Chains A and B, each alone.
Chain A
Amino acid sequence: MTADLDRLTIHEAHRLLREKTASSVELTQAYLERIHTLEPKLKAFVTVTDEAALQQARRADESIAQGKITPLTGVPLAIKDVICTKGVRTTCSSRMLENFVPPYDATVMEKLNALGAVMLGKTNMDEFAMGSSTENSAFFVTRNPWDVARVPGGSSGGSAVAVAAAECAGSLGSDTGGSIRQPAGFCSVVGLKPTYGRVSRYGLVAFASSLDQIGPITHDVTDCAILLNAISGYDPRDSTSVPEPVPDYTRALKPDIKGMKLGVPKEYYVEGMQPAVAEVMKTALKRLEELGAILEEVSLPHTPYALAVYYIIAPSEASANLARYDGVKYGYSYPGESMWESMEKTRGTGFGAEVKRRIMLGTYALSAGYYDAWYLKAQKVRTIIRREFDEVFSRYDALVTPTSPTVPFRIGEKTADPLAMYLSDVCTLPVNIAGLPGISVPAGFAEGLPVGMQIIGKPFSEETLLRIAFAYEQATDWHRNKPALKGI
């Protein structure tokens, strides 16, 4: 088999399999070899499932031999370790779930399995998806393949690195405040956070239930549409899943955005933004204009309040969701003398520093005497932020912003200052607050490091986002640049 994994997209892998130029076993073995070569340095995976992957690959090859092939049959993927996989440990990169083996599959895994996809393993993340750098993993830090001294972003850092370093054909992440888009931007790959309710959350370990969504991280926009097709749709097991029909997203991939109206929200281009990132964005916006889009500056005046809204609402929901980790039914358990000692020490020693910080913050915001001033107030400002988006989307097809105000920062640079870390999600948080879809596409490089461009749309406008992203991608070469992986 001569497939060049570096350039292998999902749709290209599918073509090789369909034309029988390569078998799934060959592709899977090639990826596993590459994983074992690169992992000592990159550390994108928590668990590599060699045997199970090869078994799935053999089954895929049998299916293909019988003429049964879907766009994902035999295609090797990586899955963020926050998505439950039956019989394969699902850790959330936490000591609390280090040995947890889910007795069931998440809905997205049932869908991928039914399509014959191959799972190579589970990827590293910030513990319980809380973080922006993957430094909050209880196990190890994942490295950015463009510069191993820098973070890959987070919380889906492992899934983004696995794609960027070609350790898989594509991956799934989850996004509560930017956790797919920000690492996709930092690693120069494509990442999409679907509309809230588009993809079932059943089997996604809960962080903040009104904000969480699962989404694809891929080499290009075409792959993004293929994976989104696979995981979208109504699920009666998730009461927030929306019974909207799922279009074929690959049909949206037309490189034509002439006359489309794109808003450029000025609040996303202000203080704290690196000048080099601003330069890259300027060029990217110009390219969209050259493609025939009409760009206009717009204002979303309450954007500066999104950070506070998010960091009250998300920790509040987290404090309730994470109350289930009591050391009784599953997970880590501290053998204390009494029930309360067992529970408090289980939680005190089983959770890492950031998770405890957010549980405490959320508990405070929800506690008697503070609920109205913090939690309720944040929920009201959330309404205002949503309304501002609604109003702007009555006039524009989509909004274009940077994915992150900076290039990937150095490992350790922001760990001592939670607020500085939180600010790296300032461009992505408002999208979750309003439940909107957002995509990050490679937009170039600043000082040799990746910059992502974010496109935001109204609810269930994924087709519009994919179309703009595809047109931009076809007009640029950024997604073809691959990290050199020097010295790895």
Chain B
Amino acid sequence: MKLSREEVLHIARLCRVALTDEEIDRYAGQLSKLLEHFQVLQQVDTEGVPPTAQSVSLLNVMRDDVVMPSLPREDVLANAPRREDDYFRVRAVLE
């Protein structure tokens, strides 16, 4: 199990994390070592075993669609890095 620099860059692009050259090398080594250790899972016979996503037996938790108070707009926008009037301001999405 050996991740190349290219594979690390590919993963970093998928999760939108900018990495420095030094980080790419370090993560390539560390992630490779971890994945190599995690290979032990391949020894486990899971034929016919269903996956577990969560450990409570609740399914399809529903609630009535009732109007509830929302958070105050000013309180929410107070945390915005950039705002304009009552909007979050972002860089151009379409170029």
Which A residues are within 8 Å of any B CB, using their own CB? 99-101, 103-104, 196-197, 209-210, 236, 239-240, 242, 302, 304-305, 307-309, 311-312, 319, 323, 326-333, 336-345, 347-349, 351, 353, 356-357, 359-361, 363-364, 367, 373-374, 376-384, 386, 418-419, 433-435, 459
Contact = CB atoms under 8 A, between A and B. Distances in A.
B18 A347 contact: yes
Given A242-B58, A319-B15, A210 B34 contact: no
Given A210-B53, A330-B79, A378-B41, A359 B88 contact: no
Contacts of A336: 91
Interface in B30-67: 30-31, 33-35, 37-38, 40-42, 44, 46, 49-56, 58, 61, 63
Given A103-B75, A435-B54, 9 more contacts: A103-B78, A196-B55, A327-B81, A356-B27, A361-B34, A364-B11, A383-B49, A419-B33, A435-B55
Interface of B: 3, 8, 11-12, 14-20, 23, 27, 30-31, 33-35, 37-38, 40-42, 44, 46, 49-56, 58, 61, 63, 71-72, 75-76, 78-82, 88, 90-93, 95
Contact of B44 (A197, A242, A330, A381): A381
28 contacts: A101-B79, A103-B71, A103-B75, A104-B71, A196-B55, A240-B56, A308-B37, A309-B41, A328-B80, A329-B88, A344-B16, A344-B18, A347-B16, A348-B18, A349-B18, A351-B17, A356-B19, A360-B17, A363-B11, A367-B11, A378-B41, A380-B50, A383-B49, A383-B51, A384-B44, A419-B33, A419-B37, A434-B55
Nearest to A362: B15
Contacts, number: 165
A386 B52 contact: yes
Nearest to B48: A380
Given A196-B54, A348-B19, A386-B55, A377 B91 contact: no
A99 B50 CA distance: 43
A127 B72 CA distance: 28
A207 to B, nearest CB: 14
Q: In this complex, which of A312, A339, A342, A380 has the most chain B Cβ atoms within 10 angstroms of its Cβ? A: A380
A338 B95 contact: yes
Contacts of B20: 348
Given A340-B16, A347-B17, A384-B44, A308 B53 contact: no
Given A363-B15, A384-B44, A418 B56 contact: no
Chain A facing B: main interface SS: helix
Contacts of B55: 196-197, 210, 386, 433-435, 459
A331 B78 CA distance: 11
B77 to A, nearest CB: 9
Nearest to B42: A377
Contacts of B53: 210, 379
B79 A100 contact: yes
A355 to B, nearest CB: 9
B17 A333 contact: no
